[in-house]
């Protein structure tokens, strides 16, 4: 593939440097937070932030996109780790990292198959419900660490069931740390964010304060982080385990694609550029493959890091490479200090991420858009939180598409009209009306307008009930740019029905591709070439001549 590896220029070196450094400052606390929240460890979050970000910048198709572990990917990965360790205690964690590798391979495959443009063709109600559900999951899973206790087993349901016990055993010091962290993140002045990210301020201020004033307190901390250079592992599993991992990998890979494409669209809007979807999927896939190989978390395009990068001056892929380089220096140079970070602080950062993921704007006005939109969004939220991420998206997309098809079908039914010589309301040119009058009421014009999908097949069938009253039927598809396969077969059956009723049939097909499709299907095998026309005027003249000759 041409330009497989991105080329780098120094034309915007100053902007890219500031963008990369600023994005790295934001990424560090987020990587630690997601690593701890996932259950894989802080180092997994750091490795993921470095590797996914580096390879996505080297091979991706969005110049300013910053890729790293994100809230949605962490929520999904947390569920994968928990389920695999529960079913395979000895190899579960290794299997989880293999899932990341497989997810990356799926993303690369999606890119080579050029599926990038279709990834975001999901209704807003489904995306909003899905993302909001992930935000709720992230918040609920942090309730234990917020109160100074371990993350509860059993996911969302397990945490909610354990709430009485959590409240009964609250650690007031750690809860206070969490509340102070949230206060900083929520009330931090927006104008200061471009100079000092609130996550970094909270990380430094609270960690130092705890070390100075609460050094002897029994506070849960990150602990020693293994920052030795990771060695790639390629574990071998049974066929049954591999099938289980493939399902998880497909879901994780698709989630990463959606997350990245949405962030790429935001980057385009901010920079007035256009990303390359398929190339971006390949870059994301390569980043996740490498992250999984070296024990890192999966990642995707991150909206927060991307916006920070752009606001600081980043404009090319070089900013992402600089970000990864700064992270490497910071992590390997200051790993000894990271172990003192309180877990309650990281839990509060995760809660704020969950709050930001919630689509407040759409949630507040979904019911104003339509009751169907509100039902889909809240239904997807419920399925995401309490059932399964992929089930939520699948059900949401299915229901949303059914509703859209119903609306389109209802709108298009009015575009199927039966017109005879005495129909004064029909919009006909004077010439066409005179030709139809010459048919002496023996011809029926069945007019179809606009694209036609399977939902309007019944409407056409209803109009065909009138054919017994006429000797000749004209099927007018002059202004039909597209028919789906069901409608093509319905037209074919209509021709057969007309001929079986011993009536004559004339076709009007203007679209060349549509005509070729009918001929490939064999729909016109029993229809003479001189009964197929491109314009209505010629077809009506032929109809009047046929009926006159018959008399």
Q: What is the DSSP string of 277-341?
A: HHHHHHHHHHHHHHHHHTTPPP-EE-HHHHHHHHHTT--STHHHHHHHHHHHHHHHHHHHHHTTS
Q: How many CB atoms lie within 10 A of CB 165?
A: 11
CATH superfamily name and code, 414-550: STAS domain (3.30.750.24)
- Higher pLDDT: 181 or 531? It is 181
* Residue 301 confidence (pLDDT): 92
E strand or H helix that includes residue 86:
helix 71-87
β-bridge mates for residue 52, sequence order: none
Percentage of residues in the chain having pLDDT higher than 90:
26
Question: Span 164-182, mean pLDDT?
Answer: 92
* Residue 550 confidence (pLDDT): 66
Of the pLDDT bands very low, low, confident and very high (cuts 50, 70, 90), residue 278 is: very high
* Residue 122 confidence (pLDDT): 78
* Of the candidate ranges 187-191, 445-449, 463-467, 493-497, the one whose mean pLDDT is the lowest: 463-467
Highest mean predicted confidence (pLDDT) among 6-20, 106-120, 283-297, 404-418: 283-297
Residue 108 scores a pLDDT above 90: yes
Question: Span 239-261, mean pLDDT?
Answer: 88
Q: How many CB atoms lie within 10 A of CB 467?
A: 19
Closest CA to 175 of 166, 185, 162: 166
Helix (DSSP H) and strand (DSSP E) numbers for the chain: 24, 7
pLDDT tens digit sequence for 334-374: 777 788 889 899 999 989 988 888 888 888 887 777 888 88
Ordered by start, the domain boundaries in the chain are 13-119+129-358, 414-550
pLDDT tens digit sequence for 472-495: 888 989 888 888 888 888 888 888
Cβ–Cβ under 8 Å, residues 195 and 188:
no
Residue 292 scores a pLDDT above 70: yes
Question: Span 132-146, mean pLDDT?
Answer: 90
* Six token digits for residue 259: 């997350």
- Higher pLDDT: 362 or 172? It is 172
Question: Span 270-286, mean pLDDT?
Answer: 91
Strands (E), 26-180: 67-68
Residue 238 scores a pLDDT above 80: no
Cβ–Cβ under 8 Å, residues 419 and 436:
yes
Residue 551 scores a pLDDT above 60: no
Helix 343-357 to helix 13-38 angle, to the nearest 10 degrees? 110
Quote the DSSP letter at residue 171. -
Q: Distance between CA 479 and CA 493 in Å, rounded?
A: 20
Closest CA to 350 of 205, 219, 160, 182: 182
pTM, rounded to two decimals: 0.79
CA torsion, ordered 514, 518, 520, 523, to nearest 10 deg: 180
Contacts 24+ apart (CB under 8 A), 410-416: 412/450, 412/451, 412/452, 412/453, 412/455, 412/456, 412/459, 413/456, 413/459, 415/448, 415/449, 415/450, 415/452, 415/456, 416/446, 416/447, 416/448, 416/449, 416/456, 416/459, 416/460, 416/463
Residue 121 scores a pLDDT above 80: no
Mean pLDDT of the chain: 86
CA torsion, ordered 41, 47, 52, 54, to nearest 10 deg: 160
Of the pLDDT bands very low, low, confident and very high (cuts 50, 70, 90), residue 253 is: very high
Residue 212 scores a pLDDT above 90: no
* Six token digits for residue 468: 């017994």
* Number of residues that this document lists for the chain: 551
* Residue 289 confidence (pLDDT): 95
Of the pLDDT bands very low, low, confident and very high (cuts 50, 70, 90), residue 1 is: very low
* Of the candidate ranges 135-144, 222-231, 355-364, the one whose mean pLDDT is the lowest: 222-231
Residue 425 scores a pLDDT above 70: no
Question: Span 180-207, mean pLDDT?
Answer: 87
* Residue 178 confidence (pLDDT): 93
Of the pLDDT bands very low, low, confident and very high (cuts 50, 70, 90), residue 235 is: low
Question: Span 407-411, mean pLDDT?
Answer: 81
Of the pLDDT bands very low, low, confident and very high (cuts 50, 70, 90), residue 2 is: low
* Residue 438 confidence (pLDDT): 84
β-bridge mates for residue 417, sequence order: 447
Of the pLDDT bands very low, low, confident and very high (cuts 50, 70, 90), residue 64 is: very high
Question: Span 454-478, mean pLDDT?
Answer: 84
Strand duo 532-533 + 504-509: pairing:
parallel
291 φ/ψ angles, rounded to the nearest 5 degrees: -65, -45
232 φ/ψ angles, rounded to the nearest 5 degrees: -65, 145
């Amino acid at each position: 593939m041409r330009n497989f590896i991105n080329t780098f220029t120094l034309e915007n070196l100053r902007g890219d440097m500031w963008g990369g450094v600023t994005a790295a400052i934001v990424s560090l606390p987020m990587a630690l937070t997601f690593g701890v929240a996932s259950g894989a460890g802080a180092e997994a979050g750091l490795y993921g932030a470095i590797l996914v970000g580096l390879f996505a910048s080297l091979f991706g198709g969005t110049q300013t996109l910053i890729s790293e572990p994100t809230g949605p990917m962490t929520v999904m990965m947390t569920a994968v780790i928990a389920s695999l360790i529960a079913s395979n205690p000895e190899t579960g964690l290794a299997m989880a990292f293999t899932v990341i590798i497989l997810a990356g391979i799926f993303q690369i495959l999606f890119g080579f198959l050029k599926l990038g443009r279709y990834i975001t063709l999901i209704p807003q109600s489904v995306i909003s419900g899905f993302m909001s559900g992930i935000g709720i999951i992230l918040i609920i899973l942090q309730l234990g660490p917020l109160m100074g206790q371990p993350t509860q087993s059993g996911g969302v349901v397990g945490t909610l069931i354990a709430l009485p016990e959590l409240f009964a055993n609250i650690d007031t010091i750690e809860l206070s740390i969490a509340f102070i962290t949230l206060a900083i993140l929520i009330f931090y002045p927006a104008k200061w964010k471009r100079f000092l990210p609130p996550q970094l301020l909270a990380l430094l201020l609270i960690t130092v304060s705890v070390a100075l004033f609460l050094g002897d307190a029994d506070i849960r901390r990150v602990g020693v982080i293994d920052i030795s250079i990771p060695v790639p592992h390629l574990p071998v599993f049974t066929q049954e385990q591999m099938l289980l991992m493939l399902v998880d990998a497909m879901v994780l890979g698709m989630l990463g694609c959606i997350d990245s494409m949405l962030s790429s669209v935001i980057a385009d809007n901010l920079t007035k550029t256009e990303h390359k979807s398929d190339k971006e999927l390949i870059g994301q896939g390569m980043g996740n493959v490498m992250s999984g190989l070296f024990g890192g978390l999966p990642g995707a395009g991150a909206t927060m890091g991307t916006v920070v990068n752009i606001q600081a001056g980043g404009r090319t892929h070089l900013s992402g490479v600089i970000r990864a380089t700064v992270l490497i220096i910071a992590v390997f140079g200051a790993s000894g200090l990271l172990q003192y970070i309180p877990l309650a602080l990281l839990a509060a950062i995760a809660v704020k991420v969950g709050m930001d993921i919630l689509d407040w704007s759409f949630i507040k006005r979904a019911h104003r858009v339509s009751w169907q939109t509100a039902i889909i969004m809240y239904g997807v939220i419920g399925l995401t939180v309490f059932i399964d991420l992929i089930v939520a998206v699948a059900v949401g997309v299915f229901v949303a598409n059914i509703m859209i098809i119903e609306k389109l079908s209802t709108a298009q039914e009015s575009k199927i009209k039966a017109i005879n010589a005495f129909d004064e309301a029909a919009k006909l040119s004077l010439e066409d009306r005179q030709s139809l009058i010459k048919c002496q009421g023996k011809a029926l014009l069945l007019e179809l307008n606009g694209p036609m999908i399977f939902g309007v097949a019944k409407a056409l069938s209803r109009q065909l009930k009138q054919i017994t009253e006429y000797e000749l039927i004209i099927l007018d598809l002059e202004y039909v740019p597209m028919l789906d396969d069901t409608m093509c077969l319905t037209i074919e059956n209509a021709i057969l029905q007309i001929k079986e009723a011993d009536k004559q049939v004339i076709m009007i097909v203007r679209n060349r591709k549509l005509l070729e499709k009918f001929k490939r299907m064999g729909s016109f095998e029993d229809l003479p070439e001189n009964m197929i026309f491109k314009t209505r005027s010629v077809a009506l003249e032929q109809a009047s001549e046929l009926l006159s000759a018959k008399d």
